[in-house]
Structure 1
Amino acid sequence: MINIPLIDDTLAVRAVFYNDNRGGYIDNVLGTRDASESARFRPEGTVRANGVPVSANRAGFQSQADLSNVTFLEADNSGLVEEDFNDTSYTGFRTSAYWAINEDWSLTVAHARQSLESDGVFFTDPELGDMEIQRFEEDELEDDFHNTSWTIEGRLAMLDVVYTGAYTDRDTEQRVDYSDYLFAGQYLPYYICDSSVTYPGSAAPSGTCQPPNLFVDSETDTTVQTHELRFTTPDDQRIYATVGGFYSDLTLKERNDFTYVNSVNADIFGSPGFFPNFPFTTGFTSDPGPFPDGVIFRNDVKRTDEQYGFFGEATFVAIPDTLSVVLGARYYDIEVDLEGGANGSFCNSFQPDINAFGTDISDQFNGDGQFTFRGSCDTSLHQTFTQGQTLDEIMAAGLSEAQAQQVLNALSAPDKAATDGVIFKATLNWTPTDNLLFYATYSEGFRPGLLNRPGGAVGPNNFTVPFALDTDDVENYELGWKMDLFDRSVRFNGNAFYVKVDRLQTTIFDPSITNLFFSDNAANAEIFGVEGDVTWFPAAIPGLSLYGGFSVLDTEITDVLTPTNDVVEGSELAFAPGFQGNLRARYEWTVMDDYTAHVMPKLVYSGASWSDIIEINKARIDSYTTLGLSAGITAANWSVEIYGENLNDTVGQLSNSFVFDRERITPIRPRTIGLRVGFQI
């Protein structure tokens, strides 16, 4: 870090440069797999590792087939075996400049750039050894961003004025091993097996299934600009207020190429591989095609989020320094738009590309009252229908009832996911003494709605993927306190709260409905909780300070909204441990008059929780406890510290995922011992 005063009390700059290289700790170990493990061949009733049996509507298409005449070639990752393969490096800088224009006005401008490079993955397979995974394609990430922000502060008569803005541009290039899709994707064998295996007619399956190693090439380009202006009246009055406005504009362009490496070798109806594939041309596309060899699916989308809001907050001081009431409100108006395509190669096995199946997102969400049916390999059925036509009229064009219903659904798709409204908050603050503060708060919040790429897809129990999601809304009731006790040697801050959640937005992966992730307003829920932190400076032991924090949660799904059995009333919310806590003790003492030494042990505990509320996707996240210790010496212009994290080397679980029917656990970093050295010049 460098601080440079250019003009005393007027202009100064600051710069921070960093290069952070973090070693890996997960091993990619030797393994093989073949297409016989596909969900296509898995029978009803099979109990998966998360304890949820395979239901009748998710049983494999060929679960009863005799596969004895099928040759399954193995994917082998021997060329990728590596210890500690998930290393990461961060390189970047931050600069800022402050200009005191005059006594009333100032300007702060900041700029930051960062480049992130990472290999491997940060999750493991609990069926293998600790910190081990089997990956069959390279995992790589390059993530670059730059951000510029500016803030103007000043006064207009009696008003304090703050305007702040920011612009961010972020680009990522990523390659992800997608081979785990084998365990959940029933259609995968169609693309890598001979057609005599997947569509044998009345005969038993025979032929060859190629190795099931898959990967995704992903590119994103995100730009965001934000602007906020606020005015505040003097806070030395009995009534003072802050009012302002906010605007943001986000554009995300994302292209994902799902590459089935060995699809080019499969004998599909007498031909090797698939004909070249091209994107839909209705609207946005980042590349005219054809897709690279082996790319079976491409998602190529542009999403825009535009929002503006106005807010205000007023404080009424009923009793100076003792009792006050704060009332606030926010108006919001948000629009989310989506265009592009999610294109596949289903019909390209026996004919040149006709843009069949997939989702023409631009057509679906352009709001023009028309929709072109593409769900058939027969191009004579690729007809355009108009809003107002009946189911019978659509079927008269040659479509089945299910196909006609798909068209009818798409004709009612919205142009955008749009929402607006007002949320409120109110707080009562009571300060009976200088050392005590109590407050009661009511507040509201929400998350904006969004559009689903696979909107309209039909699943079991008459479930239809919604084209657009509603907001999910929360009401929060909170009682809190801040206490300085025992001559201010103890500080205890905390709160107790109840949160009511309506229309909880949840991401779902269910290949029996669609091969894309989608979202739904799945449930209502409630949360009861208490959290707090304590600091104690024992007067009897100068230099000693003790810290502790805790969180207690009781969460529950109270109503199921999605019309399937994938969410269970009474179950817990995801990532909500019943108890979390931490303890730290820091002791400082003087050494040879010029130095300050310290030692600090710590303990962290997190209780068990669940990774999801969707039964087929959820897995248990186990509890864990970690121990840490640091010790060091600080002088006037230098410091040195040795530290140890996770000294008990527990395999604590930060997260768990079961979306591909296999547990993938994200562990905490294993035992880490290091040295920190700092200088001031």
Structure 2
Amino acid sequence: MRIISVTSRLLGCTAAFALSSAFASAACAQSTTAPTTASAAPDKNAPDGDIVVTATRRDTSLQKTPLAITVLTGQTLTNAGVTNIADYAKFVPSLRIQDNGPGQRRVSLRGVQTSGEATVGVYYDDTPVTGSVGVSSDAAGRTADFTLFDVNRIEVLRGPQGTLYGASSMGGAIRVLLNKPTQDYEGKIESQVAGTNGGGLNYFVQGMVNVPLVKDLLAVRAVLYRRDSDGYIDNTYLKRQNVNDYTATGGRLMARLTPSSNLTIDGMAMIENTDAFSSNWNPAVGTYKSATKVMLPYTDRSQLYNLTGKLDLGPATVTSITSYQHRRSAYAADDSYYIASYRTAAKCAGYVNASTGAACSSDQLTNYYGYIDSLSPAAIYYPGSTKDFTQEVRISSDGTHLFDWTIGGFYQNRKNNVTSEDARADATTGDIITPNQIFYRREIFDKLEQYAGFGEGTFHPTRTIGLTAGIRYFSYNKTVSGFTDIAWTLIGAPARPLSTVNSSENGTLLKFNASWQANPDILFYATASQGYRPGGANQVIGLSADLTPYKSDSLWNYEIGTKLGLLDRKLTLNLAAYQIDWSNIQVSGRTTNGAFSFLSNAGAARIRGVEAEAFVRPTRGLQFTFSGNYIDPRLTQDQVNASVVAAGRAGDRIPYIPNWTGAAGAEYTAPISPTLDFFARADFNYVGSSYSEFRPTNVYRVKIGAYSLTNLRVGIDLKHNDAGVYLFVNNLFDAVAINRASQSSTANSYSATSAAPRTIGINVRKSF
């Protein structure tokens, strides 16, 4: 199988390089496209030359929308080489990614981060995507992620969006808006080949074609792609190199039906298949070195389907969004070192002589050690699936009137199932033995059903003042079932029959906003808004009844901001300051033997921060972008309730959130002939230090050091044939940029994930 995989990669790289060479030849003989567009550069189709956004569920001008929004256009994503959420996060103030590898990313905005349901809503068009819940009810840690290609723009809404976007948008929302089918024949293809320092080759090939099938009635748009990376992490224990290889293959098919001038029906099917291995490494062993005794595979089969209808009634538009997500994934963790921690005389006495606690005899100790050794190496393997159906219907007023409004309803039915099983691995290769040799197995079924009704209206007493109020009523029910059919008494997990627990809740969310458009280039606003995420029920072996349910947590966000167009709009400056009061926080605890994690509610936090974005266009062809934020996220109450004592105490800083982050970019385009343009782009990203645990006195607290990343890209654009050839360097100075690290009492538990080392490559694209 390994030989086939390597051969596949070589063929793929050969194909990508052939495409690159062909396009490079074309580039020398032909000409190119339009100049690049910055993330907040004007859109000629927007009012007043501004970008049009739909964050408020109506078309509005970006610089006249009284919200903290960062918009990245499709051209910016292409020019910066963005392919996933981890790539574009560096452009957005307060957006933080804990990257555990494909499909295992934790997303947060404004420091609102903890275990449990997601704190940031992620949407593809108007379809919400959800992470898999897992055995610890931590959907936030496995946010679904699709490859970004042929994207119109990304809108990142900072701050809670509870009234319009509902649950799990308490920190904000991310909307990936895809290009839709048009009545024009068009297409594009892009390929890339690169090499990573200390690793292997990487490549991708991707393409799009748009075809009008019936004039003014039906058009389709298809996207296909394949991405492959050979990895850069070496396993010193198994003596295997580049173990974190990665392959993603997928695409989407979109159709647009326009039966009349006021009715549009869009259908989409999006599929992505990922096969990868863990990107975790052990800093104590060496940079980009792993000491796991087991290879840790990750597979993901994600499907997303959507049907959206829009009916323009003149004064209002009715929108219906029907979506279905099906995701089958499996990931693994090395359990060998945890099992080895039971190889002590004390553990023998507690296990073999549990009734008396007497010390083990020599023969008992020999037999006990033999039993422990027979279990290792082993992996905890978590196969599971997520099925999520959502339906939203809303009606919104069109244009700007004395009173603008949106009302709607939302329904969700999400079903998760996950298996937690310990399986033996081959001691020489580290591969999990197939068929699986299982010595422990637990099954969990998690169902979330929720309903919501929402409304938001803006009153304009004058042309320059807007007063907004919004409300959302929500009601949810969560049912969790589980059983253990293969017992493992060593860790206190006996066989248990099917049992079921329920949790339900309802409530309201509010929003208030006031804005003043002082003149066409100056906007001031103030906001008070709520956000929440659902609670639920734990299904943990041996957990007491008082720890089974946990409630939703919620917050209030108080914010002031301004949007400024200065120096004849050559400078755009957006500023925001906020305070978030977060109560009844969902926290993660563990059973006394460390084997199982669960959720409870304890403590409160106050998060204060400021954000800034600046876009400078001094001359034609040259633009600069700057963004940055300061966050002070601290607990205001101890994380203690009647049932759990969690780690945090009042005054502690929330883990994994740096106080300072910032980014700067420069893009330059200049003609070098009537048919050729020179293109250059540089991006710099700084992330301050953070910590892995709340308590400064925690012996397992890891400081995650500050780092800077610099990316460069230079090339040639062909003006008349929409093509280009580019050389790029990512992580120019080969920084060791760790974004997550943790450790425990288990040997070799100090692990980290990071950005890739210096990567150099060639990128070619062509549109037609």
Which stretch of structure 1 is more off in the superposition, 542-551 or 337-346?
337-346
State the distance in 2 between where 1:361 and 1:490 align: 65
Aligned 1:122-141 pairs, distance under 5 A = 122-141=279-298
Question: Offset of 1:236 from its aligned partner?
Answer: 3.4
Query: How far did residue 260 of structure 1 move?
Result: 5.6
Deviation (angstroms), 1:651: 0.6
1:545 matched to 2:632: no
Q: CA deviation at 1:294?
A: 5.4
What is residue 405 of structure 2 aligned with on the other side? 241
Letter in 1 for 2:438: V
Q: Which residue of 1 aligns with 2:678?
A: 597
Offset of residue 619 of structure 1: 2.6
Which structure's CA Rg is the greater one? 1
* 8 Å Cα contact 2:352/2:360 also seen in 1: no
Matched with 1:639 is 724
Q: CA deviation at 1:588?
A: 1.1
RMSD, matched Cα: 3.0
**In 2, distance between residues paired with 1:362 and 1:618?**
38
The DSSP-based 3-state class of the residue aligned with 1:597 is strand
Stretches of structure 2 that go unaligned for 5 or more consecutive residues are 1-207, 428-433
Letter aligned with residue 24 of structure 1 = G
Q: Identify which of 466, 475, 479 aligns with 1:324.
A: 466
**Separation in 2, partners of 1:424, 1:187:** 56
TM-score by length of 1: 0.74
Q: Is 2:264 aligned against 1:106?
A: yes
Alpha-carbon deviation of 1:126? Answer: 1.2
Q: CA deviation at 1:168?
A: 1.3
Give the direction of change, closer, same or farther, for the CA distance of 1:182–1:532 in structure 2 (3 Å limit). Answer: farther
Of residues 465, 468, 481 in structure 2, which corresponds to 1:339? 481
Q: 1:341 to 1:435 in 2, by over 3 A?
A: same
Tell me which amino acid in the other structure corresponds to 2:622: L
CA contact (8 A) 1:465 1:520 kept: no
| CA distance in 2: counterparts of 1:186 and 1:306, whole angstroms | 44
1:259 to 420, 423, 444: 423
Deviation string, structure 1 residues 410-430 (Cα, Å, up to 9, x no partner): xxxxx4121110000011111
Query: Where do residues 584-663 of structure 1 align in structure 2 (5 Å cutoff)?
Result: 584-613=665-694, 615=698, 618-635=701-718, 636-637=720-721, 638-659=723-744, 661=746, 662-663=749-750
Alignment partner for residue 573 of structure 1, among 630, 639, 654? Answer: 654
What secondary structure is seen at the aligned counterpart in 1 of 2:584?
Answer: strand
Alignment length, in residue pairs? Answer: 539
The amino acid of 2:466's aligned partner reads: S
- The code of the aligned residue for 2:616 comes to W
Q: Do structure 1's residue 423 and structure 2's residue 506 form an aligned pair?
A: no
**2:304 alignment partner in structure 1:** 147
> Structure 1 residue 195: deviation in Å?
4.8
Larger RCO: Structure 1 or Structure 2 (Cα < 8 Å, ≥ 6 residues apart)? Answer: 2
- The whole-number CA distance in structure 2 between the counterparts of 1:343 and 1:192 is 26
- 1:33-432 mapped onto 2 (5 Å cutoff): 77=238, 81-119=239-277, 121-156=278-313, 158-182=315-339, 195=352, 201=359, 203=361, 206-207=365-366, 208-209=369-370, 210-211=372-373, 212-259=376-423, 295-320=438-463, 322-342=464-484, 345-346=487-488, 358=494, 360=496, 362-363=498-499, 365=500, 415-432=501-518
**Which residue of the other structure, out of 654, 670, 673, is the alignment partner of 2:757?**
670
* Aligned residue in 2 for 1:437: 523
The 1:449–1:618 alpha-carbon spacing in structure 2 relative to 1, beyond 3 Å, is farther
The alpha-carbon deviation at position 347 of structure 1 amounts to 5.4
Is the alpha carbon distance of 1:319 and 1:582 closer, same or farther for their aligned partners in structure 2, counting shifts above 3 Å?
Answer: same
**Shift in Å, 1:622:** 1.4
Partner in structure 1 of residue 588 of structure 2: 507
Contact 2:702-2:742 within 8 A present in 1 as well: yes
Q: Mean Cα displacement is larger for which, 134-143 or 161-170? A: 134-143
- What's the offset of the Cα at 1:344? 5.6
Contact 1:184 1:511 in 2 (8 A): no
SS at match of 2:757: coil
Partner of 2:41: none
Residues of 2 paired with 1:433 and 1:536: CA distance?
20
Structure 1 unaligned blocks of 5 or more:
31-76, 264-290, 350-355, 366-414, 459-463
Q: Is the 8 A contact 2:324 2:387 kept in 1?
A: yes
- CA deviation digits over 1:545-598, x for unaligned, max 9? 111110101111110142536222211012211100011111110011112211
- For the 8 Å contact 1:535–1:546, the answer to whether it is kept is yes
Give the superposition deviation at 1:504: 1.2
Q: Conserved in 2, the CA contact under 8 Å of 1:192 and 1:262? A: no
Question: Alignment partner of 2:338: what SS?
Answer: helix
Cα gap change, 1:465 to 1:82, in 2 (>3 Å): farther
SS in 1 for 2:535: coil
CA gap of 1:589–1:465, structure 2 versus 1, over 3 A, is farther
1:640 is displaced (CA, Å) by 1.1
Cα offsets for 1:266-304 (capped at 9, x unmatched): xxxxxxxxxxxxxxxxxxxxxxxxx98853321201110
